[in-house]
């Protein structure tokens, strides 16, 4: 069995004023659930006193774990690290800026109990500016829903709950965290959404702006490729190559016809013939690119298993006080078996691993 029922993961970047307040609200919400839980804060290269506030929490609360990055890697890497070090059967993600309401966690879990695998928060009364935040988000949500086929009103809301099994095959890169429901859907997950409370920011400033809109569009292209062509890239490149071949034949055919009919344009003087030659070369290049992508996908796909981050430290709260994991080891590799267990971890540390198939930590 796993050591805990629920893992709450919060990426943190320069939120020193919000951390004590959000932790107090989280404790109230989670204690009322009557379940075992852990709270994982991921310090994403904060330059203020955020880590000091987190260090205070982990020293006082055995349910807290703190992961600290060497620099700012972004929210996707922070969520990925939290998933790697989590142990719960249920994973809940939320922001640490006090705009998400921890009281909504119970509503997410109630919806999961109805048989869903993913419950996404929907900030239908969002407390943000319209032109710079709400309008770009509205357009992006419509575009993502149209392209992926997963109809959600609010992909940008971090507050979501997942059953662990739908996240097991997911590996996050770039800034793909907002597409987690899409990845889960590809794994056969049942997805729904509920309205959640959204509060105005009290301290600090938002880390997002209009510049992320272009990144969302580029990420969406990647997601579409991974979802539709990740195991068959030749289908995409080959289709483009065949269309170019058809255009080349039509162009050359038109040049031949013009050479046979008045005013008898010679083929070597006809730009359509040159265009046809260029198009056939491009067609061959697209087809060869597809074949090379097929080979690379078959030999490299999921073979590395490398994390998208490097760690400064991982501090875990235990009943005996905070414990620091070895700097160069992730939790799932640091505790592979009793013989390899680091000396600075307590003998009754509540975790075992199955690292053979790269499953998440905490399985016996």
The pairing of strands 311-318 and 64-69 is: antiparallel
Sign for the CA dihedral angle at 113, 92, 191, 163 comes to negative
Residues 6+ apart with CB under 8 A from 118: 160, 161, 162, 163, 166, 180, 181, 184, 185, 189, 190, 191, 192
pLDDT of residue 350: 43
Per-residue confidence at 209, pLDDT binned at 50, 70, 90? low
The domain segmentation of the chain, as residue ranges, is 4-228, 233-300
CATH 1.10.10.10 fits 4-228, yes or no: no
Torsion, Cα 185 191 197 201, to 10 degrees, reads 0
pLDDT of residue 348: 46
Q: Which of 127-141, 180-194, 282-296, 341-355 has the largest mean confidence?
A: 180-194
The CB density around residue 295, as the number of other CB atoms within 10 Å, is 12
Least confident residue range of 206-210, 240-244, 260-264 = 206-210
CA gyration radius, the chain: 26
Least confident residue range of 51-60, 121-130, 199-208 = 199-208
Per-residue confidence at 302, pLDDT binned at 50, 70, 90? low
**Which of the pair, 72 or 290, is modelled with greater confidence?**
72
């Amino acid at each position: 069995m796993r050591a805990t029922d629920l893992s709450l993961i919060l990426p943190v970047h320069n939120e020193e004023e919000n951390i004590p307040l959000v932790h107090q609200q989280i404790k109230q919400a989670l204690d009322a659930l009557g379940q075992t839980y852990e709270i994982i804060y991921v310090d994403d290269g904060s330059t203020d006193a955020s880590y000091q506030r987190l260090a205070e929490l982990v020293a006082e609360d055995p349910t807290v774990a703190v992961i600290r990055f060497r620099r700012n890697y972004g929210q996707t890497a922070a969520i990925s690290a939290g998933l790697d070090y989590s142990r719960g059967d249920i994973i809940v993600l939320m922001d640490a800026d006090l705009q998400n309401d921890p009281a909504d966690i119970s509503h997410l879990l109630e919806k999961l109990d109805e048989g869903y695998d993913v419950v996404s928060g929907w900030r239908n009364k969002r407390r943000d500016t319209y032109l710079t935040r709400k309008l770009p988000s509205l357009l992006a949500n419509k575009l993502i829903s149209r392209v992926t086929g997963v109809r959600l009103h609010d992909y940008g809301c971090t507050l979501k709950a997942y059953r662990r099994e739908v996240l097991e095959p997911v590996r996050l890169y770039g800034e793909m965290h907002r597409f987690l429901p899409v990845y889960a859907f590809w794994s056969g997950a049942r997805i729904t959404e509920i309205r959640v409370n959204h509060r105005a920011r009290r301290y600090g400033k938002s880390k997002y702006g209009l510049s992320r809109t272009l990144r969302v569009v580029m990420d969406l292209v990647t997601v579409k490729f991974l979802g539709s062509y990740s195991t068959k890239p030749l289908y995409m490149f080959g289709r483009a190559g065949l269309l170019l071949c058809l255009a080349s034949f039509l162009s050359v055919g038109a040049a031949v016809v013009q050479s046979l009919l008045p005013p008898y344009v010679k083929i070597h003087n006809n730009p359509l013939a040159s265009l046809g030659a260029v198009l056939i070369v491009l067609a061959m290049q697209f087809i060869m690119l597809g074949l090379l992508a097929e080979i690379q996908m078959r030999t490299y796909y999921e073979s590395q298993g490398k994390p998208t981050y490097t760690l400064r430290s991982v501090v875990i709260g235990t009943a005996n006080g905070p414990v620091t994991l070895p700097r160069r080891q992730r939790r799932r590799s640091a505790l592979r078996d009793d013989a390899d267990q680091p000396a600075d971890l307590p003998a009754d540390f509540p975790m075992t691993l199955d690292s053979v198939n790269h499953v998440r930590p905490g399985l016996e």
